[in-house]
């Protein structure tokens, strides 16, 4: 047996195996006690979930810039967003849009959790908040100033506003959290990896609470041009036929923006302060394709291994999984490859498991996607409703899973998996269980 003194004076005891490793039977359980979101279908968690239940599509014409010279006309923007409703004018100037959205979602999550400096030691509250791109609006704006007006006119806030760790830094400053802080940048897997690593950190006893999630605000000329010229974006001008995961006529993803934050907490710590508990995180798995900078492995073998690792970590079988929230970006390669990966990971169970992509509702929030989708999974278990894959019309023989087309289902959901797959070959899967 071993022990250590926490900073609040309490003693954390643990058991070590003969080789010095932590006895996994004594590892701490990790639960979710707070949720926060601002998305294209709702400016908080409840609005976002209502959008899922009501099959709301958050995709519409781009209003954040003039698209006259762009093929891409659609995106999933935050609706009716006025930063002055959330921040003072001085703060607005000092916070890139991605940081603003992160703080808004974090405020909701922290308030929802009931965490205060009276019931929680803020020196043991971590901040694992990611962004796939960071302050792209700031980068674009300041580079334009550099070329048009000269280097002396570049803002001294250029770097602090643009680097990808600033959402985490600003969330920490907002609340005074002083535990471990990190920003995991794994492209579209960033938020899922942040949640997974936060789960591991609490499980192993290094922190009591972590705010984990992601944020993204890349709907600007440079962001759209970069993905458009990569031929990754949908060219559709019909908002209901643009982000259509698993549909045979899919031709690219739709850029979204927003933020999702979850409060992860040691179960005993949560019980001690009488917190409400939404769900338990029971497994996390991550792998790398080592194949191509944008394309996934042809048969999804490493994506499958991430799911298998998550199930092994959770100590469950494929038969235990009721629902999978797929990465499902609406690109040909992702959806067909992820289908193969699910089949490889779950075997016979893949014929029965319910799988859907909620990117038909929200678009693809890049580095924030995994956090929004984890929140949707939590709400799905809470409501016992499976989110649908909306705007689905034409069946693709390559994507022959039960994708819950068009209509939500009232079903028993106790265990869910959420997948994220990022450029560079980053794969992440988390498994959540309904807390009883």
Q: Which of 364, 377, 399, 426 is catalytic?
A: 364
Query: Has 292 been annotated as catalytic?
Result: no
Q: Please write down the long-range contacts of 266-272, taking CB distance under 8 Å and 24 or more positions apart.
A: 266/28, 266/29, 266/30, 266/31, 266/202, 266/208, 266/209, 267/28, 267/29, 267/30, 267/31, 268/28, 268/29, 269/120, 269/208, 269/209, 270/31, 270/33
Query: Has 327 been annotated as catalytic?
Result: yes
Q: Which of 188, 220, 297, 399 is catalytic?
A: 188
**Which residues fall within 8 angstroms of residue 207, CB to CB, at 6 or more apart?**
124, 125, 126, 179, 180, 198, 201
Encoded tokens for 310: 């998550």
Using an 8 Å Cβ cutoff, are 318 and 342 in contact?
A: no
Q: Which of 193, 269, 327, 426 is catalytic?
A: 327
Query: Has 269 been annotated as catalytic?
Result: no
Catalytic residues: 188, 327, 364
């Amino acid at each position: 047996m071993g022990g250590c003194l926490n900073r609040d004076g309490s003693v954390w005891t643990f058991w070590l195996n003969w080789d010095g490793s932590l006895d996994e039977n004594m590892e701490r359980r990790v639960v979710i006690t707070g949720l926060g979101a601002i998305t294209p279908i709702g400016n908080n968690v409840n609005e976002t979930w209502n959008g899922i239940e009501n099959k709301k599509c958050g995709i519409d014409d781009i209003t954040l810039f003039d698209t006259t010279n762009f093929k891409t006309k659609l995106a999933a923007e935050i609706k009716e967003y006025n930063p002055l409703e959330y921040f003072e004018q001085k703060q607005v100037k000092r916070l890139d849009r991605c940081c603003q959205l992160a703080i808004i979602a974090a405020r909701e999550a922290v308030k929802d959790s009931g965490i205060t400096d009276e019931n929680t030691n803020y020196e043991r509250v971590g901040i694992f908040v990611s962004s796939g791109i960071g302050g792209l609006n700031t980068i674009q704006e300041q580079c334009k100033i550099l070329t048009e007006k000269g280097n002396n006119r570049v803002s001294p806030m250029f770097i602090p506003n643009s680097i990808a760790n600033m959402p985490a830094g600003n969330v920490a400053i907002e609340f005074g959290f002083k535990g471990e802080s990190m920003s995991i940048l794994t492209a579209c897997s960033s938020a899922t990896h942040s949640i997974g690593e936060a789960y591991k950190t609490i499980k192993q006893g290094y922190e009591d609470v972590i705010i984990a999630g992601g944020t993204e605000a890349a709907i600007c000329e440079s962001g759209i041009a970069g993905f458009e010229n990569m031929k990754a974006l949908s060219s559709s001008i019909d908002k209901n036929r643009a982000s259509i995961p698993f549909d045979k006529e899919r031709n690219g993803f739709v850029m979204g923006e927003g933020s999702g934050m979850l409060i992860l907490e040691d179960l005993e710590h949560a019980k001690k302060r009488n917190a409400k508990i939404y769900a338990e995180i029971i497994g996390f798995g991550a792998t790398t394709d080592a194949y191509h900078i944008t394309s996934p492995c042809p048969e999804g073998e490493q994506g499958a291994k991430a799911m298998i690792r998550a199930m092994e970590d959770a100590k469950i079988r494929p038969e235990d999984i009721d629902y999978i929230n797929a990465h499902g970006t609406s690109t040909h390669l992702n959806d067909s490859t992820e289908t193969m990966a699910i089949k490889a990971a779950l075997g016979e169970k893949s014929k029965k498991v319910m799988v859907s992509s909620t990117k038909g509702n929200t678009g693809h929030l890049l580095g924030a996607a995994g956090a929004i989708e984890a929140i949707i999974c939590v709400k799905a278990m809470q409501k016992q409703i499976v989110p649908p894959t909306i705007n689905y019309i034409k069946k693709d023989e390559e994507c022959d899973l039960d994708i819950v087309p068009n209509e939500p289902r009232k079903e028993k959901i106790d265990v869910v998996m959420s997948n994220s797959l990022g450029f560079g070959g980053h794969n992440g899967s988390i498994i959540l269980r309904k807390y009883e």
